[in-house]
Amino acid sequence: MNILRLVLLGLAALAAIICGVALLRQALPSNVPATASNASGVFRPSPAQIEAARKVLDEKLATAPDYAVFFNRLDKVFPDEYQAFLGALALRLALAGEIRSADVLMAEAARSLRLSRGLLAAKAGDPALEHIFELQATMLRALAAKDPHLCGSFLNGDDSQDFFEFSAQNRGLVAAMGIAGLEAIKDGEVKGIERPPPAGKDFDALEQALRAKGLETPEIEMLLDGKPSDPPIADAKLCRDGLIYLEALTGLPGPIRLRIYGFAIELMARS
């Protein structure tokens, strides 16, 4: 089974929808000007430059109060990680120039958290884990309402600069998803629930649920196995199928549903 398709709707769980490495590379500056150098010839910004960069970061975040809730919570729950993140980003900013938006900062923070602590989210209690996927359905509906093509690109895992525009227009939702992931990580750290991976019968139950909701074999094979549809499924229908996928998961018996949820988040944290 293609694990990418298993988690295609879980890609946003801890990092909103804009955590893709390719998108971040587009949005974060990568050129490094010659600001200062040490004896080894490695360029290093001065303390004053780093301090100025921290000020720029604070000013950028102040333009997005919705994100402040996430960053304040991150600072409270994992203060050392929060300061290390800001310090590393300030260094990068001092070396490379402007960061274009608060949405990029949110994406970078969420991605950093997903990679460093995301495995803990899979060990969270049932409510925290379920809330992540509830918000994913909300996110998918918002994407579908804005642009079926953008929704289709999201489900296909395609990179698109339009995601940053969408994020800027839906910062409350993006922040809520980031917070849900953060709270699941903290909950998993405390509770440490060990769930077994889903078995073949669990995926059989999911397939049956999808068929019961009207999906046919080509759509199910695309969702569960990553098999391309011929002809390709139209974006609007793909969005509808994605929502049906989430609804089908919701309708599964609790133990099956939570095994799949936990497995999806674990795979995402390792990617």
Q: Mean pLDDT, to the nearest integer, of 179-189?
A: 94
Residue 251 lies in a domain: no
Q: Is 196 or 237 the better-scoring residue by pLDDT?
A: 196
244 DSSP 8-state letter: H
Q: Structure pTM?
A: 0.81
Question: Residue 15 above 50 pLDDT?
Answer: no
Residue 219 maps to a domain: no
Inside any domain, residue 150: yes
pLDDT of the residue at 222: 74
pLDDT in tens, 25-55: 444 444 434 344 444 455 577 888 888 888 8
Predicted pLDDT of residue 122: 92
Q: Does residue 46 fall inside a structural domain? A: yes
pLDDT at 160: 62
The reply to whether 101 falls in a domain is yes
> Identity (one letter) of the amino acid at 150?
L
Q: Is there a cis peptide before residue 253, judged by omega within 30 degrees of 0?
A: no
How much is the pLDDT for 265? 86
**Domain count within the chain:** 1
Q: Which domain holds residue 26?
A: 3-199+259-270
Please check whether residue 147 lies inside any domain of the structure.
Answer: yes
pLDDT at 230: 77
**Sign of the CA dihedral with 33 first, then 34, 36, and 40 last:** positive
pLDDT digits (tens, 9 = 90+) for 49-84: 888 888 888 888 888 999 999 999 999 999 988 888
Instruction: List phi, psi (to 5°) of 37.
Output: -145, 155
Specify the DSSP class assigned to residue 228. Answer: P
Average pLDDT over residues 136-150: 86
